[in-house]
Amino acid sequence: GGKNTTLAKMPAPTFDISTTKRFDPQSSLSFARGKLETFSLSYADSSLLTGYVGKDIVQMGNYYAMTRFGCALDSNDATMNGIDGILGMGMPDASLPNIPTPLLFALSSDRGGIEGANYVNEKLLKTRKFAFLSTADSAEIQLGGYDRGSTSADMVYMPTTSTTEYSVNVQSLTFGGIELLDWTDSGVPNALPAILDTGTTCLIIPDTTLGGRVASKPYTKFQQIMTKGMSFYITIDGHLFEIPYRYWWQSAQDAPCVQRTPPSYAGLLLGDVVFQSLVVEFDLTKPHRPMIGIAPRNPIYDPAPPGGGDRLRRVAV
């Protein structure tokens, strides 16, 4: 008779801190650990980071300042393997109580009364704005405004819908000329919140009728009509932008980078496919009235290479 073969179940991947380039506090003369302060930070995808709070001089580009930050020691998310850290460019209203100052505010000359007076030995950003763009294999943060050379048109500006996340109103999303947000009541203003999230890879859209607000499930409808070579067109706060095929289609996987949102979230997540299509400016000049600027990305613009020196460019403020 034949032999019975039992296949061993592979263990689920786990976070391995040895895969990261850890910050070594003992190698810094200016590091100051907090009074046994720890932090625990969770994300929408249920990932969790834990560690302790430290204080040191943090430099980004030509700017540096003394500020508090989290030194992570553990995570429940194996995708953090090989990741050296998370750059916190968020809003003050979303910060942790023991790490109250997001990095952009720590690096800016006007901290909005969040953590008191600046230190003497600092080089600070004068305008509390930054812009972000990406390509298939690189990305760039522009401090103090946006580089007009990176866009093919001027920015258009709109208010955020939240003071804790970079969220904007989306009135329309079409694919191949077909509306995916087919509102059932066109007689009233209709929009969904859309979070501009640099930590998300794909375009994430609802797969419900949103309580009857739309006639069909947007993600399911997209799957039914998906055709290679077509573009998405998204209307954000009344402005129309294109998400070309070359950005939402993953050639390596031969699959679309379009996913469904969790049923609990009635909105969209605009991830890396959007940041490859558009340059987005985050204006935190007024912390409780943030503004978002959006412009089409210049396709011939090349981001600065990783580890390369800063390039002085014409920054539009």
pLDDT digits (tens, 9 = 90+) for 299-313: 999 888 766 656 545
* Half-sphere exposure (Cβ direction) of 94: Cα atoms closer than 13 Å: 17
Write the class of the CATH domain 17-126.
mainly beta
Q: How far apart are CA 163 and CA 289, in angstroms?
A: 7
| CA 72 distance to own-chain centroid | 20
Give, in order, the Cα–Cα distances in Å from 102 to each of 204, 215, 308: 26, 41, 24
Q: What are phi and psi of 180, to 5 degrees?
A: -90, -25
Residues 6+ apart with CB under 8 A from 313: 142, 147, 149
Q: What is the pLDDT of residue 143?
A: 92
Q: What is the pLDDT of residue 37?
A: 86
pTM of the model: 0.85
Q: What is the pLDDT of residue 41?
A: 82
Q: What is the pLDDT of residue 288?
A: 87
Contact 193, 265 (CB under 8 A): no
Q: What is the pLDDT of residue 137?
A: 83
Q: What is the pLDDT of residue 80?
A: 84
- Topology annotation, domain 130-316: Cathepsin D, subunit A; domain 1 (2.40.70)
Q: How far apart are the first and last CA of the chain?
A: 78
Q: How far apart are CA 52 and CA 34, in angstroms?
A: 8
Q: How far apart are CA 241 and CA 235, in angstroms?
A: 6
Q: What is the pLDDT of residue 142?
A: 93
CATH 2.40.70.10 maps onto the chain at: 17-126, 130-316
pLDDT under 50 in the chain at which residues?
Answer: 113, 116, 312
Q: What is the pLDDT of residue 94?
A: 79
